[in-house]
Structure 1
């Protein structure tokens, strides 16, 4: 609208000037007016094209469109629209991917599908069972193995799941689909900074979920790094549409960081003494001055030390209060 008004103003000024111009000047002015109008017309056409693209996109997702088909559609049109529309497309894809997880899970448990997938997957290294952290080698079904699937129906199912930007992750001896945020990074060039960083944060989780089969899969130093990165996001993008989701993710990370998990205790089972690597990680975070996380971890560390480094109910009962304080402090930054 502003551009139209400016052109009208320019036109009025030029018409006013015409009375003082010779024929040659008039022709030049007239040509300039035509060029300005044509330029504005082109901009309108582009805008109208984007509106039509989004109208067609929204019509396409009204039906029961599968993620792999939606990916193909987005791949064809995302470079033809502005950032806001590109964000809308990618977030809608994420939503539909989430809606399809249960359906694809049910299909993967039909017939002997799981047995064939497990047979084709990399053999679990029994030596890893005694290690504290998981290995990526056996977590995900390799795309290279799709060609070896003999059951044609299963092969087609796995192909469209992968094409829909999922991964198949091994949990408790079976494969389940999860959104492959690493795969969504192909759209980053078309997105805003907050959505790009959101996808980056979520890709850490899809590349290696923090918890699997009751055990923490990464080191406590890596978990601390995720905490700091999520905190940085929350402070940097308080108005992001994904702020609440990242805040929940921060809360999950903090809970596991403070309590461990059933299969990854933060203390020695016999003595109840906090494990050295956990204590060392807490000390590192405490020294990260200027972060909300460091302040909360410092308070927790004081509680532990006052309890002679024993992790019992006296310590664990304080986690909920510290957790709530961390979340409240982050929310106050908005």
Structure 2
């Protein structure tokens, strides 16, 4: 009986706690529903959205700066449907593409080349830049959604897709979110630099698989024309490498076939073959490589050529 007496308070406490949790969950669920409903009501009517989109179209066809275009988008995007929000974000991308080099003058390039360090726009405050013109350009470039790169030591200005992804992915359709994710990876860490593949073989395959999935999921997307060439670049790089990072290391003996690079080989043997159609082709390719002791024989070369040709249709 003593045991039973001790159990009763424990059971009661447990029931009380369980009841509290249920009650709390119910309150949280109601709050989530309220927020969802409030979010729906926050969306403007189709008529209002249409008016905003017309205004936006006139804006990007005019001479408004990238910063002003972004300000318009930021003031309206959370009240728009995902489809219209996507059009707003793609509008920013379009404006950037048209105006990117208009203010990236030769004088600015010369000023940049004079510096003895690389300028990361995310770290502007840490640089002591004397030229007011250059400092103003860098500040505007960052606010306009650009970034600097220096392939082969020469400065260039590109769209900072990672910025667009981080700022707007939550508002757009799944299609455009997937698109931004793919191009943001390339924007953050380019595949190539100075004739060399500068990301890991596993990363090349990861991007390849993501690009292939996009092409499969959204065959009619207007962004196919951007993703398809990128996809083929990844395919070519994964199969062949680059001048300074070939998949098959050059043999010092002319009579001996080139042997597969160990890092590339490790990637080929460990990737998720089911993640892409390309992966399925690589799985068969591995059998041919093993048969040829991972050397670049005529049979191996012909098969990898066939893989690229099949995917480049």
**Residue 211 of structure 2 aligns to a residue in which SS?**
helix
Alignment match of 1:153 (pick from 133, 138, 161):
133
Which position in structure 2 is the counterpart of 1:281?
267
Alignment match of 1:291 (pick from 264, 271, 276):
276
Relative contact order, higher structure (CA 8 A, sep 6+):
1
1:150 Cα shift? Answer: 1.4
For the residues of structure 2 that align with 1:312 and 1:166, how far apart are their CA atoms?
45
Could you tell me whether the CA contact under 8 Å between 2:201 and 2:267 is conserved in 1? yes
**Residue 148 of structure 2 aligns to a residue in which SS?**
strand
Which position in structure 2 is the counterpart of 1:49?
48
Alignment match of 1:174 (pick from 126, 141, 154):
154
Which position in structure 1 is the counterpart of 2:217?
236
**How has the CA–CA distance of structure 1 residues 107 and 77 changed in structure 2, closer, same or farther, with 3 Å as cutoff?**
farther
1:151 Cα shift? Answer: 0.8
Could you tell me whether the CA contact under 8 Å between 2:108 and 2:134 is conserved in 1? no
Alignment match of 1:143 (pick from 96, 106, 123):
123
Alignment of 1:85-234 (within 5 A): 85-107=84-106, 109-116=108-115, 119-121=116-118, 140-145=120-125, 148-185=128-165, 186-234=167-215
CA RMSD of aligned residues (A): 2.7
Could you tell me whether the CA contact under 8 Å between 2:273 and 2:282 is conserved in 1? no
**How has the CA–CA distance of structure 1 residues 316 and 179 changed in structure 2, closer, same or farther, with 3 Å as cutoff?**
farther
For the residues of structure 2 that align with 1:110 and 1:167, how far apart are their CA atoms?
14
**Residue 249 of structure 2 aligns to a residue in which SS?**
coil
Structure 1 residues 19-63: Cα deviation after superposition (integer angstroms, max 9, x where no partner): xxxxxxxxxxxxxxxxxxxxxxx99x8333222212221111112
Could you tell me whether the CA contact under 8 Å between 1:68 and 1:161 is conserved in 2? no
1:182 Cα shift? Answer: 1.1
**Residue 149 of structure 2 aligns to a residue in which SS?**
strand
1:205 Cα shift? Answer: 0.5
319-328 or 150-159, which deviates more: 319-328
For the residues of structure 1 that align with 2:289 and 2:243, how far apart are their CA atoms?
19
**Residue 240 of structure 1 aligns to a residue in which SS?**
coil
Unaligned runs of 5+ in 1: 1-41, 123-139, 329-334
1:144 Cα shift? Answer: 3.1
Report the number of matched residues: 266
1:213 Cα shift? Answer: 1.2
Which position in structure 2 is the counterpart of 1:33?
none
TM-score (structure 1 length as normaliser) = 0.71
1:91 Cα shift? Answer: 0.9
**How has the CA–CA distance of structure 1 residues 108 and 141 changed in structure 2, closer, same or farther, with 3 Å as cutoff?**
farther
Which position in structure 2 is the counterpart of 1:9?
none
TM-score (structure 2 length as normaliser) = 0.75
**Residue 242 of structure 2 aligns to a residue in which SS?**
coil
For the residues of structure 1 that align with 2:180 and 2:86, how far apart are their CA atoms?
11
For the residues of structure 1 that align with 2:275 and 2:91, how far apart are their CA atoms?
36
Which position in structure 1 is the counterpart of 2:29?
none
296-305 or 257-266, which deviates more: 296-305
